[in-house]
Amino acid sequence: MKHHEHRTNIPAVVVGGSSSGVGKTLVATAIMYHFRRKGFTVQPFKVGPDFIDPSYHEVISNRQSYNLDAWMMGERGILKKFYKASSGADVAVIEGVMGIFDGVSGKSDFGSTAHVARLLNAQILLVVDAGKTGGSIAALIYGFINFDKKLNVSGVVLNNVGSSKHLKIIRDNMRGRINVPIVGVITRNSVLELKERHLGLIPVLENRRIAEKKIVSSSQIVSKSIFFNKFKSLNVKKQMPLPAPSSGRSHEPVVRIAVAKDKSFNFYYADTIESLEMNDAQVVYFSPIKDNKLPDGTSGIILGGGFPEILADDLEKNRNMKKVILRAAQEGMPIYAECGGLMYLTKNLITCKKGKTKKSKMVGLIDADTSMGRRLTINYTEAENRSEFFKGISKVRGHEFHYSQIISIDKDYHFAYSLRRGNGIHEKKDGLVVYNCLASYMHLNFGADDRLGKRIVELSRAYSRQ
């Protein structure tokens, strides 16, 4: 597959950074805000594995944001998703991941922002944090622009500029050395800072009203700091309206699958939900915090990732839901859980606040405890599947991202996955199997392999026929 054969048919801009934490999300949503205000339809994307940034994109664009992840989806999958999702849009705005050249390993930039930009033949805006440097930032910018001559870095956005004097120093050092223009100058402003937690930005769902107000106001302010008249190569025009794409579902829903979605559980790829629906499932949402029972007619459960440790008290207090989920598992209902969902299914969630350790009782399906720690586990993962749960799927790729550990695991437990890459739950094994439940630290994107969603629908349908 030659990259030049797959040029974007709408203008596309990639917002890349020199590192994490330089303001990529702010700049991306500001660009989306500008074009939306001009009456254009904006299709957002996020490079790499991320559940939170896309929710910020959606607030501004009013369209579903999709991940473009080469490790899980492959190049063909990225191209397919990009063209399908961009149907009917006038411009695509793609937020990068970490630094521009940070990929799966140090041997190449596979999976990086640069990789995706080359694949889509999209221009890059380089965002740098100028806050703690003067003229030296010019050397950093020069390095990023010249590191890969195949990349089209069309502009630089300077974040955290302290004053007009500070900006002049930077401009003077760039003059004559760097031909790429400065297309944005964001002055130091604490009002613009988006709140973060140990796994990144705070999900919109935790306080939708306040979060949306903050995202919109910050995007509006930053959009005024970007010089759109210097976007000479980003010629956005209104596209011809296209018929609404079909949902992909071929029949009426055959099963109802209950997906946990609230302030504790909200880490889901859009492609995962859409895969279930395309395989004839009706997805219904419920809250393990607030609801006392599962939605009527539920034949399968999905417990995604999130922050159960933040609201462990509320999860513990909802005894009815814990009992319902435990009983459903014992009766053979298929349950698929990832990370936060895995933690919720253990006996206890152990947290430490202000030096005091606390145990919060969880569902108790898995005879082990979850302990929150300070060490981050972050990896792309690849596993050999040995479980009937995902029968017929020998290899799966995903990622893991957590601060917790599963402790006091019975050595007789059956694991679904043997990891070739990543840590998993215990000794390179992941995916605890109990009854008809699979619970892992590994996150999967069902859009990368449609057999995953299809299999969960099959299991749920078999249960509904009992």
Domain spans of the chain, in order of start: 3-230, 255-464
> Residue 69 gets which letter from DSSP?
-
Say which amino acid occupies 161: V
Determine if residue 73 is left, alpha or beta; phi over 0 gives left, psi from -120 to 50 gives alpha, anything else beta. alpha
User: Other C-beta atoms within 10 Å of 389: how many?
Assistant: 19
Q: Which residues pair with 369 in a beta bridge?
A: 348, 407
Report how far apart, in Å, the C-alpha atoms of 297 and of each of 203, 252, 264 are: 29, 15, 23
Q: Please choose, from the candidates 127, 187, 186, the residue with its C-alpha nearest in 3D space to the C-alpha of residue 154.
A: 127
The answer to whether residues 305 and 442 touch, using CB atoms and an 8 Å cutoff, is no
Q: Is the fold of 3-230 the same as that of 255-464?
A: yes
The per-residue b/e assignment along 41-79, b for 16 or more CB within 10 angstroms, e otherwise, is bbbbbbbbbbbbbbbbbbbbbebebbbbbbbbbebebbb
Token representation of residue 376: 């981050």
pLDDT tens per residue, the chain (466 residues)? Answer: 444 444 447 999 999 999 999 999 999 999 999 999 999 999 999 999 999 999 999 999 999 999 999 999 999 999 999 999 999 999 999 999 999 999 999 999 999 999 999 999 999 999 999 999 999 999 999 999 999 999 999 999 999 999 999 999 999 999 999 999 999 999 988 666 666 545 557 777 666 778 888 899 999 999 999 999 887 678 888 877 666 555 556 678 899 999 999 999 999 999 999 999 999 999 999 999 999 999 999 999 999 999 999 999 999 999 999 999 999 999 999 999 999 999 999 999 999 887 889 999 999 999 999 999 989 999 999 999 999 999 999 999 999 999 999 999 988 899 999 999 999 999 999 999 999 999 999 999 999 999 999 999 999 999 999 8
Strand, helix or coil for residue 438: strand
Report how far apart, in Å, the C-alpha atoms of 147 and of each of 111, 117, 139, 268 are: 17, 14, 12, 34
**DSSP 3-state helix, strand, coil percentages of the chain (rounded to 5)?**
30, 30, 35
- With the CA atoms of 100, 450, 267 and 215 taken in that order, what torsion angle do they form, in degrees rounded to the nearest 10? 60
- With the CA atoms of 220, 48, 282 and 257 taken in that order, what torsion angle do they form, in degrees rounded to the nearest 10? -120
Report how far apart, in Å, the C-alpha atoms of 338 and of each of 171, 400, 445 are: 48, 9, 11
Q: What is the pLDDT of residue 234?
A: 81
The answer to whether residues 43 and 123 touch, using CB atoms and an 8 Å cutoff, is no
Catalytically annotated residues:
339
For 21-137, list the strands marked E by DSSP.
42-47, 66-68, 91-99, 123-129
- Write the CB contacts of 242 (distance below 8 Å, at least 6 apart in sequence): 87, 88
Q: Which residues pair with 397 in a beta bridge?
A: 382
Token representation of residue 128: 């740098």
Longest dimension (CA), the chain: 75
User: Which pairs count as long-range contacts for 240-243, CB under 8 Å and 24+ apart, including other chains?
Assistant: 241/88, 242/87, 242/88
What's the CATH number for 255-464? 3.40.50.880
φ and ψ of 129, to 5 deg: -95, 110
| H or E stretch at 407 | strand 395-407
Q: What is the pLDDT of residue 209?
A: 79
What's the CATH number for 3-230? 3.40.50.300
Q: Please choose, from the candidates 155, 145, 152, 122, the residue with its C-alpha nearest in 3D space to the C-alpha of residue 226.
A: 155
Q: What is the pLDDT of residue 248?
A: 59
Q: What is the pLDDT of residue 192?
A: 66
